[in-house]
């Protein structure tokens, strides 16, 4: 008795990432650290690279994946119980007993479907929230970084090279807005400040939790 669940882990979710806005407070450069980017009005960020390598984001996605696996395991256990109940109903010869079992089967199946849909929706919402919060952090840190260095525009880009033997890669490459630019890629610097900011937020949250 399958309900259509055929995926393990976090549900796929389309995240649309827009070009970044660039006003904000000045980022204080760490002592002894010199900016890796020279004076420029334009820079590029590989947003996919930042998400892929942002530690806090990946840690939370891993936790979300474990939660999704737990939901699937519970779903499988519930389906096993429903199949056993269905088998009992199919094998029952007494009409009263058979009707009783079928009624119970219908009730449990309905409850199971509601629980499953609720769990799926919660996972999807949690994933969306995680992407949102990480992107907001990226925006905030990019604003600070760019303001401190006089960068007026930060555009989304990709570091991925076009693969000649991969049609999708070629077509994506043909659709890139920028064909050539000497503007710097600040993805590594943005990733670094995001990791620092995330660690600071985590430490602050732990301190606030202890003080309660």
pLDDT per position as a tens digit, 146-190 = 999 999 999 999 998 999 999 999 999 999 888 888 899 999 999
pLDDT in tens, 74-123: 999 999 999 999 999 999 999 999 999 999 999 999 999 999 999 999 99
From CA 49, how far away is CA 47, in angstroms rounded?
5
Average pLDDT over every residue of 28-52: 71
Structural domain includes residue 195? yes
Domain ranges, residue 148? 42-203
Give yes or no for residue 194 having a pLDDT over 80.
yes
| Of the candidate ranges 22-26, 30-34, 44-48, the one whose mean pLDDT is the lowest | 22-26
Is residue 53 packed enough to be buried (19+ CB in 10 Å), middle (13-18) or exposed (0-12)?
Answer: middle
From CA 191, how far away is CA 46, in angstroms rounded?
10
pTM, rounded to two decimals? 0.73
**C-alpha closest to that of 58 among 171, 208, 191, 212:** 191
Structural domain includes residue 211? no
Give yes or no for residue 10 having a pLDDT over 60.
no
- Return the higher-pLDDT residue of 159 and 14: 159
From CA 86, how far away is CA 2, in angstroms rounded?
13
Share of the chain above pLDDT 70, in %: 81
Structural domain includes residue 131? yes
* Collapsed DSSP state (helix, strand, coil) of residue 10: coil
Question: Which element (helix H / strand E) includes 156?
Answer: strand 153-157
Structural domain includes residue 154? yes
* Collapsed DSSP state (helix, strand, coil) of residue 179: coil
pLDDT for res 30:
42
pLDDT for res 36:
53
Structural domain includes residue 103? yes
pLDDT for res 168:
94
* Structural domains counted in the chain: 1
Give yes or no for residue 18 having a pLDDT over 90.
no
Structure tokens at 61: 């996605």
Structure-token match 């990480």, residue found? 134
Banded model confidence at residue 2, pLDDT cuts 50, 70, 90: very low
Structural domain includes residue 197? yes
Structural domain includes residue 1? no
Structural domain includes residue 23? no
From CA 42, how far away is CA 177, in angstroms rounded?
14
Q: What is the dihedral of CA 158, 156, 61, 143, to 10 degrees?
A: 140
Banded model confidence at residue 39, pLDDT cuts 50, 70, 90: low
């Amino acid at each position: 008795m399958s309900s259509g669940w055929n995926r393990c882990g976090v549900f796929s979710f389309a995240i649309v990432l827009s070009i970044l806005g660039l006003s904000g407070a000045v980022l204080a450069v760490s002592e002894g650290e010199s900016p890796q980017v020279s004076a420029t009005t334009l820079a590029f960020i590989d947003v996919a690279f930042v998400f892929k390598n942002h530690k806090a984001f990946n840690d939370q996605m891993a936790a979300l994946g474990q939660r999704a696996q737990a939901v699937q395991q519970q779903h499988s256990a519930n389906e096993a119980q429903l199949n056993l109940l269905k088998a009992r109903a199919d094998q029952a010869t007494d009409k009263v007993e058979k009707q009783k079992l079928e009624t119970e089967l219908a009730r449990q199946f309905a409850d199971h479907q509601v629980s499953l849909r609720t769990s799926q929706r919660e996972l999807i919402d949690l994933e969306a929230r995680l992407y949102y919060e990480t992107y907001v952090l990226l925006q905030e840190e990019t604003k600070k970084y760019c303001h401190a260095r006089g960068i007026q525009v930060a555009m989304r880009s990709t570091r991925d090279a076009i693969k000649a033997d991969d049609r999708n890669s070629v077509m994506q490459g043909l659709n890139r807005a920028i064909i050539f630019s000497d503007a710097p890629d600040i993805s590594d610097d943005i990733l670094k400040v995001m990791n620092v900011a995330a660690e600071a937020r985590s430490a602050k949250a732990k301190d606030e939790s202890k003080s309660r």
